Amino acid sequence: MSKILVIGSAGQIGSELTLLLREMYGGSNVVAGIRKTKPSDKLSETGPCEVVDALDTDGLASVVNKYKIDTIINMAAILSATGEKNPMLAWDVNMNGLINVLEIAREHRMKQVLVPSSIAVFGPSTPVDNTPQETVLKPTTMYGVTKVAGELLGDYYVKRYGLDVRGLRYPGIISHETLPGGGTTDYAVAIYYEAVKNNRYTCFVKEDTRLPMMYMPDCLKATIDLMQADFSKLRHHCDFNVGAMSFSAEELAASVKKQMPGFEISYEPDSRQDIADSWPNSVDDSAAREEWGWQPEYDLDAMTADMLRAIKEKHDKGLI
């Protein structure tokens, strides 16, 4: 039985992934690593929660020793928009945090490390449509720079030390449990909340901005499927493209309007437009499909129906 530590358990993906892993492997086998945010009741009631800052090597080591951790999922990261406001912080958390995780995993001969990457590894000179698995990686954000370096570092630990490190390039992730923070793709979550609360939304990217996106159930499935894949069958390790859907902001708004005909949208692009413009429209994920059977389930309208249902429920309960 694995003993898993999820660093960044209070975040958008970490919060849901931790709960799912606890259902799969038992609450006591999955430690929620939280830095500042108070853990939700669900997190603190279903298993151990510990303060973990990947930059604090001694603190990290003491949690690893206390729970005999053999698998680390490092979800802690400074995302693209916050990273542009504070590039040094993005470098510190995303790079120094990562190398601390890889080093402790190497020292303890851990079973596995999962290190997420992002479509932010691509840049303006990368082909935008159906972006290949192997292509130009020249990002123009600090977040993207750290994600390219993170992929290379993870691959280095695989080759140099035989450590099992895996990672996937998440597109924009859309969910209704925990809000994302500091990303460029956050508009694709905010639109649903604002539609339910105010029936209108002012979008910070232009209507024709098209990006690869994925609904949380598919994100969790991709993460678990990659973790469970046979290591000997993987030709790639830390850099899998994973696609699910691709839509423009205008198409997203049209999907909301189908279910809420009175919904109105306006567009006021800000500095995040430049970041979005440097990323692909869609990705070619055939390597993930071939090497570990990746197959998404949700399309835009199915996601919209589920997002609006869940957020309306929260709204009716007075939770938002």
Give catalytic residues, as residue numbers.
Answer: 143
User: Which residue, among 275, 219, 216, has the nearest Cα to 242 in the 3D structure?
Assistant: 219
Please give the angle made by the CA atoms of 47, 181 and 299, to the nearest 5 degrees: 85
In angstroms, the CA 81 to CA 285 distance is 25
Q: Measured from the CB of residue 3, what is the shortest distance to ligand AKB in angstroms?
A: 28
Residue selected from 3, 49, 165, 170 as contacting ligand AKB according to rule CB under 6 A: 170
Pair type for strands 117-118 and 168-170: parallel
Q: How far apart are CA 304 and CA 310, in angstroms?
A: 10
15 is a contact residue toward ligand AKB (CB under 6 A): no
Q: Toward ligand AKB, which CB reaches closer, 77 or 101?
A: 77
Binding mask 68-97 for ligand AKB (x = CB under 6 A): -----------xx-----------------
Smaller CB separation from ligand AKB, 18 or 278: 278
146 is a contact residue toward ligand AKB (CB under 6 A) = no
When CB distances to ligand AKB are compared, the closest residue is: 183
Please, what is the minimum distance in Å from the beta carbon of residue 201 to ligand AKB?
Answer: 17
Q: Nearest CA to 252 among 232, 287, 276?
A: 276
Q: How far is the CB of 93 from ligand AKB (least distance, A)?
A: 13
Tell me: does residue 184 bind ligand AKB (CB under 6 A): yes
Contact status: 17 vs ligand AKB (CB under 6 A): no
Q: Which residues contact 23 (CB under 8 A, 6 or more apart)?
A: none
Residue window 113-132: x/- pattern of binding to ligand AKB, with contact defined by CB under 6 A: -----xxx------------
End-to-end CA distance of the chain: 38
Measured from the CB of residue 47, what is the shortest distance to ligand AKB in angstroms? Answer: 26
Pick from 252, 284, 1, 233: nearest CA to 126: 284
Number of residues located near ligand AKB, criterion CB under 6 A: 11
Query: Could you count the other beta carbons within 10 Å of the beta carbon of residue 68?
Result: 8
For ligand AKB, which residue of 126, 185, 209, 282 counts as binding (CB under 6 A)?
Answer: 185
Q: From the CB of 83, what's the least distance to ligand AKB, in Å?
A: 8
183 touching ligand AKB, by CB under 6 A: yes
Q: Which of 285, 302, 306, 283 is nearest to 212 (CA)?
A: 283
Distance CA 129, CA 62 (A): 45
> Binding of ligand AKB at residue 252 (CB under 6 A)?
no
Nearest approach, Cβ of residue 177 and ligand AKB (Å): 15
172 binds ligand AKB, rule: CB under 6 A: yes
Task: Give the span between the Cα atoms of 39 and 18, in whole angstroms.
Answer: 11
What is the number of other CB atoms lying within 10 angstroms of the CB of residue 152? 12
Question: Which residues here bind ligand AKB, judged by CB under 6 A?
Answer: 79-80, 118-120, 143, 170, 172, 183-185
